[in-house]
Amino acid sequence: MQILRGLSSPDKQPLALTVGNFDGVHLGHQALLEQLQLAARERGLATAAIVFEPHPREFFTPEQAPARLTNLREKLERFDVLGLNRVHVCRFNERMARTSAAGFINLLYRDLAVKHVLIGDDFRFGNARGGDFALMEKMGAQQGVTVKSMSSVLQDGVRISSTAVRMALAEGNLRLAQRYLGRPYSISGHVEHGEKVGRKLGYPTANIQLKHNRPALTGIFVVRVRIEGGEMCAGVASLGVRPTLEANGKPVLEVHLFDFDEQLYGKHLHVDFLHKLRDEMKFSGLESLTQQITLDVGQAKDWFKNGN
């Protein structure tokens, strides 16, 4: 898969294009990308997506923006798995924010050889979110570009959306989140040096770098971890602010792997969240914290042993 910054293109390869944020790349997004690929095959086109970084809501109201489900790397990895030919990563800045909806469409048709566009039926774009499917379709007809919309994907009467996934995660309902995503919810990142408190307590942890300070879920979890290179391990993870160890701390993802004693610093880990054990708690001291960790590890091992 080709990854390009901005709307510039090294060639004028005819494209079937979609545009959006695609946070989580959930089943609704996957259905849209499947339809895009089908349209591309019928027309002899390459497939491409345009995504924005940062998310527009993070640009306008960073403190009120929703928690990210996927960082950019995770999103691109999912696009690659799903077979997209090209992704344009557009920086969302003041200039992009001021661009009118019609101006944005003109940029697409000027800089890219777009022949077919597929967008979600609720997609809005351009300054003040002034653009919609009707405008894209009208301007596409003037340029000889076919424009189609994709209806929402429903599951048990619920519209699958990034918001629905966030709600399921916030409630600790990982099974429901997995149903909406089509896979376990995951976070990936590089292992970095921490304070090594876990090692002192007898439960060494891999501290995974978080790209964003507002995770979509918090608590203690049963996890499955894929280590860079392909090895899979079971474990238990803590994702939160560690109230026993510090006040007003930033969120930290710490993973204790079962029966594992190798160096992981600098490696990239992919963590699947399988089951929530409990919420974060503040303990009276390290002794009571250690006792609870022992219980957490035992419950996580039982979860795997029982074949959940």
Q: What's residue 198's pLDDT?
A: 66
What single-letter DSSP state applies at residue 154? Answer: E
pTM of the model: 0.92
| pLDDT, average across residues 215-219 | 94
DSSP string, 232-275: EEEEEEEEE--TTT-SSPPPEEEEEETT-----TT-EEEEEEEE
Say what the alpha-carbon torsion angle 140, 32, 10, 53 is, to the nearest 10 degrees: 100
Residue 165 tokens read as 């996934």
| pLDDT, average across residues 233-262 | 87
Residue 236 tokens read as 């238990």
Q: What is the pLDDT of residues 119-163, one digit of tens each?
A: 988 889 988 888 999 999 999 999 999 999 998 899 989 999 999
Compute the distance between CA of residue 251 and CA of residue 248 in angstroms, rounded to an integer. 9
Measured between its terminal Cα atoms, the distance across the chain in Å is 35
Q: What's residue 214's pLDDT?
A: 85
Confidence category of residue 279, pLDDT binned at 50, 70, 90: very high
Domain ranges of the chain: 2-158, 186-305
pLDDT greater at residue 18 or residue 286: 18
The answer to whether the beta carbons of residues 233 and 267 sit under 8 Å apart is no
Confidence category of residue 234, pLDDT binned at 50, 70, 90: very high
Q: What is the pLDDT of residues 152-161, one digit of tens each?
A: 899 989 999 9
Statement: residue 297 has pLDDT above 90? yes
Tell how far CA 120 is from the center of its chain. 18
CATH class of 2-158: alpha beta
Tell how far CA 17 is from the center of its chain. 20
Instruction: Tell me the one-letter amino acid at 183.
Output: R
Compute the distance between CA of residue 146 and CA of residue 214 in angstroms, rounded to an integer. 39
The answer to whether the beta carbons of residues 189 and 268 sit under 8 Å apart is yes
Instruction: Give the CATH fold of the 186-305 domain.
Output: Elongation Factor Tu (Ef-tu); domain 3 (2.40.30)
Per the listing, tokens 């566009």 go with 117
The answer to whether the beta carbons of residues 275 and 222 sit under 8 Å apart is yes
Average pLDDT of every residue of the chain: 91
Compute the distance between CA of residue 214 and CA of residue 240 in angstroms, rounded to an integer. 9
Q: What's residue 288's pLDDT?
A: 85
| pLDDT, average across residues 74-95 | 95
Statement: residue 5 has pLDDT above 90? yes
Statement: residue 221 has pLDDT above 90? yes
Compute the distance between CA of residue 48 and CA of residue 17 in angstroms, rounded to an integer. 5
Statement: residue 248 has pLDDT above 90? no
Q: What is the per-residue burial (b if ≥16 Cβ within 10 Å, else e) of 106-121?
A: ebbbeebbbbbbbbbe
The percent of the chain in helix, strand and coil, each rounded to the nearest 5, is 35, 30, 40
Domain 186-305 in the same topology as domain 2-158? no
Compute the distance between CA of residue 165 and CA of residue 26 in angstroms, rounded to an integer. 8
Identify which of 111, 109, 76 has the alpha carbon closest to the alpha carbon of residue 6.
Answer: 111
